[in-house]
Structure 1
Amino acid sequence: MAAPLAYALIATDLDGTLLRGDDTVSDRSRRALAAAGEGGARHLVVTGRPAPRVRSLLGDLGYAGLAVCGQGAQLYDAGAHRMVWSVTLDRELAEVALGKIEAEVGQVFAAVDQDGVDGLTLIEPGYEMPHPTLPAVRVPGRDVLWEVPISKVLVRHPALTDDELAEVARGAVDSLATVTMSGPGTVELQPCGVTKATGLALAAERMGLTAADTVAFGDMPNDIPMFRWAAHGVAMANAHSELKAVADELTRSNEEDGVAVFLEGLLAAAQGATDARL
């Protein structure tokens, strides 16, 4: 077995972090994660994507453990293909929240992620998916978005930047929902108090691990709660400035295998410490 790493839990975001722009995980990253596993570390995916939108990615990685999905609203068991835990966003509150945002900035376009392991992503007229590889079902009007339980709402504005829309939404929504920004064109409303950190803490507890055992990797403001919870937060070179401001360390970009670069450093340090004791 390889030398044990400084961290027993490796929590990685997907988009902009572990994944390259073409939705693949490089061979170098795969090798680094495998080597960390041989050193006793556990890999935990912590993503804004809902469980149905990560299933094929996790399968390609041979990932069979728990995954935190939907910005922390879902704890998904990839091996058993079942939801261990989930919390939904009250649909009446979500509709009110959208109305409050529109009262401030005019018309916005919305989408929702349905709850459950087979939930769909529904998009209303005018909403354009920021990530073209993710499947979505276009519906005739906003009323259809609220027909079944949802985990979150995605919001876009025709003129405002993501940062501008997120700032307005936080002020308008107040305690109706938690507002996050998880990627280009992706401002989201999720259940109040639910973040990646709450999902990560729940998953870690089930694994018998703690914040002190955890190193977290991310690239967007929705990763800030996760960084504040974990013992060590590592931002990608391509990360949003808000995340870089709270990160303990920076690594290379997702296109340059930044997660692997950091893990290789941990592995080398662990092996050096082992050799020094021999």
Structure 2
Amino acid sequence: MIASDLDGTLLRGDGSLSPRTLRALRTAEEAGAEIVIVTARPPRFVDRLAEATGLVGTAVCSNGALVYDIASRSVVSSQMLSLSVARQVATALAAAVPGVGFALETGNQVFYEPAYRLRLSEDEGAELPVASLAELWLTEAPVTKLLAWTEQLDADTLLAAARPGAGDTVQLTHSGGRGLLEISAPGVTKAGALAMLCAERGIEAADVIAFGDMPNDLTVLAWAGTGYAMANAHPSVLAAVETHARTNEEDGVAQVIEHLFAVRGRG
């Protein structure tokens, strides 16, 4: 199995999947490897990528909260965040970081309160405002992640500020977003979801090759038999993972796959 993150890893900086990388993935599939996308992104983003590239198979979405079948556009399994726990963590974080804003990610939509001013072009049409923070907790849709954002702090500093108040009630991480913290149900990680998927298929961790670039990838890079940190990865990832691949702009994932399957890449 080849398990790869998307942004900063499989995709180039403009969000595209290069022809070389797409060819490499298809070569691996033809040789019998299963390709699994392992991303912080929600299913709606994976759907758009699949439409543009023809990718099929399975995606671990929302940092492990959802396992998603790309072809049928259906959630295979889920680990949702309790709304009461999300509210508890948000209250503690708001006290530690004045001015922080919050949003709830459901996989299909993002509900956000006024202080959450981060807008992503790829989420246009999926973002739904609520009038106040109090109204955010009235959301009825199942929640995959609580998002916390501030323009005052970088993601690493926000993560450190959140840890004392969160305790073990949630899983905290970030994927390099601008001052953006991602909060999931306790124990939800990319590695956990991928491990369950592999167990169902009879695949050992030793037979998994993983690629990633951000702190939310650390669990899967450590769990897989072989983990590659991209050369453009977050410093903590480069320090924790011994084996490195070329940058995403250089099609680093493709280069590794070409080497493993003894094929020659073309730009």
TM-score normalised by L of structure 2: 0.91
- How far apart in 1 are the matches of 2:50 and 2:135? 30
The answer on 1:128 being equivalent to 2:122 is no
- How far apart in 2 are the matches of 1:59 and 1:190? 28
Q: Secondary structure at the match of 1:21?
A: coil
Q: What residue in structure 1 maps to residue 261 of structure 2?
A: 267
Q: Secondary structure at the match of 1:182?
A: coil
Q: What residue in structure 1 maps to residue 239 of structure 2?
A: 245
- How far apart in 1 are the matches of 2:136 and 2:194? 28
Q: What residue in structure 2 maps to residue 74 of structure 1?
A: 66
Q: What residue in structure 1 maps to residue 51 of structure 2?
A: 59
The answer on 1:44 being equivalent to 2:36 is yes
Q: Which amino acid aligns with 1:267?
A: F
Q: What are the equivalent positions in structure 2 for 1:20-169 lying under 5 Å apart? A: 20-114=12-106, 119-129=108-118, 131-135=120-124, 136-146=127-137, 147-148=139-140, 149-169=142-162
Q: Secondary structure at the match of 1:235?
A: strand
Would the alpha carbon gap of residues 47 and 231 (structure 1) be closer, same or farther in structure 2, given more than 3 Å must change?
A: same
Between 1:220-229 and 1:14-23, the stretch displaced more is 14-23
- Contact 2:159–2:181, Cα closer than 8 Å, also in 1: yes
- How far apart in 2 are the matches of 1:196 and 1:237? 20
Q: Which amino acid aligns with 1:155?
A: A
- How far apart in 2 are the matches of 1:194 and 1:83? 16
- How far apart in 2 are the matches of 1:236 and 1:43? 18
- How far apart in 1 are the matches of 2:100 and 2:181? 11
- How far apart in 1 are the matches of 2:12 and 2:116? 24
Q: What residue in structure 2 maps to residue 4 of structure 1?
A: none
- Contact 2:39–2:60, Cα closer than 8 Å, also in 1: yes
Q: What residue in structure 2 maps to residue 275 of structure 1?
A: none
- How far 1:21 sits from its partner (Å)? 1.8
- Contact 1:94–1:176, Cα closer than 8 Å, also in 2: no
Which residues of structure 1 form unaligned runs of 5+?
A: 1-8, 270-278
Deviations 1:259-278 (A, max 9, x none): 11111111228xxxxxxxxx
Q: Which amino acid aligns with 1:171?
A: P
Q: Identity rate of aligned residues, in percent?
A: 40
Q: Which amino acid aligns with 1:224?
A: L
- How far apart in 1 are the matches of 2:255 and 2:206? 21
Q: Which amino acid aligns with 1:142?
A: L
- Contact 1:66–1:203, Cα closer than 8 Å, also in 2: no
Q: Secondary structure at the match of 2:144?
A: strand
Deviations 1:105-142 (A, max 9, x none): 22211111115xxx211222132336432332233222
Q: Which amino acid aligns with 1:160?
A: L
- How far 1:50 sits from its partner (Å)? 1.5
Q: What residue in structure 2 maps to residue 276 of structure 1?
A: none
Q: Which amino acid aligns with 1:156?
A: W
Would the alpha carbon gap of residues 158 and 32 (structure 1) be closer, same or farther in structure 2, given more than 3 Å must change?
A: same
Structural RMSD (CA): 1.7
- How far apart in 2 are the matches of 1:129 and 1:203? 33
- Contact 1:130–1:184, Cα closer than 8 Å, also in 2: no
Q: Which runs of 4+ in 1 moved over 4 A?
A: none
Q: Which amino acid aligns with 1:92?
A: S
Q: Which amino acid aligns with 1:94?
A: A
How many residues of Structure 1 are paired with residues of Structure 2 in the alignment?
259
- How far apart in 2 are the matches of 1:181 and 1:110? 14
Q: Which amino acid aligns with 2:112?
A: I
- How far apart in 2 are the matches of 1:255 and 1:130? 24
